[in-house]
Amino acid sequence: MLTVETRHAVDPASAERMGTQELRGAFHAGGLFRDGEIRLVYTHYDRMMIGGATPAGGALTLDHVAQTGTPGVLDRREMAVVNIGAAGAVAACDETFAMEKGDVVYIGMGAGPVTFSGEGRFYILSAPAHRAIPARLVRLSDAKQIRLGSPEAANERTIYQFIVPEAGPSCQLVVGYTKFEPGSVWNTMPAHLHDRRMEAYLYFDLADDARVFHMMGRPEETRHIVMRNEEAVLSPAWSIHCGAGTGPYTFIWAMAGDNVDYRDVDMVAMETLA
């Protein structure tokens, strides 16, 4: 079963007038992982598409998505798939990639249908592409790792980079995730912007009673959205994106836009936040 929801772009002035439920309706994406289903959110932020495939021991195939306007979803797109669950497999372009939790598969433009199988919980990311790039599996052990933060600032963390130029080519997608050390809860603080790219976050590995307070909005007019386990949030180019959790968590970050330079950010001074 395939379900696709469309999210139109929201400008910053409109977001500042929104209440809690309006903000959630525009930027929050929950319920992505349901047994036996593929559930996607097609956004008008750089045409990024996010979603989940949960085969629950069976197999699910993703092919036609009407919102893309093409016969096959990857006719003019690329895709990254992150397994956040148990062992499973992703098959595309006559290749099958066995995936453990934490592994990432990149699938290039023109690869045809994509099949998800096993007990995995597959987080899907897709953006328009301009050339075909061979599919590849990047295991957690092969990801580029960057350690940042400190216990004193409650932000000691490791950034795992999977789809970045240093690890292999992509057209638009830049994908990785960030995992925190015990006792650290703050992510991406000090905050930043990147006006040339949008971003999407998926928070996972939260306890049932844990929450992440995801911060968004213009630096001088901030808002927040409360996130539960395995929920995603859209971050427009004009919005900051940072957060704090009530306990341990990991988040997947994915970007699409004008370039693939992970370091292309505009820092926001702490005194600017309001």
User: Can you say which residues are annotated as belonging to the binding site for Zn(2+)?
Assistant: 192, 194, 199, 241
**Residue 116 carries which side chain, given as an amino acid letter?**
F
**Residue 191 carries which side chain, given as an amino acid letter?**
A
Classify residue 153 as exposed, middle or buried by CB count within 10 Å of its CB (0-12, 13-18, 19+). Answer: exposed
Tokens describing residue 71: 């016969």
Residue 188 phi, psi dihedral angles, 5° rounding: 55, 45
Binding-site residue positions? 192, 194, 199, 241
Tokens describing residue 179: 């995992």
How many whole angstroms separate alpha carbon 270 and alpha carbon 61? 46
Q: Which of 41, 114, 204 is nearest to 106 (CA)?
A: 114
How many whole angstroms separate alpha carbon 90 and alpha carbon 81? 8
How many whole angstroms separate alpha carbon 222 and alpha carbon 203? 20
Tokens describing residue 122: 């597959």
> How many other β-carbons are positioned within 10 Å of the β-carbon of residue 244?
18
By the 8 A CB rule, do 227 and 27 touch?
no
Query: Which residues, in sequence order, are bridge partners of residue 81?
Result: 105, 124
> How many other β-carbons are positioned within 10 Å of the β-carbon of residue 202?
24
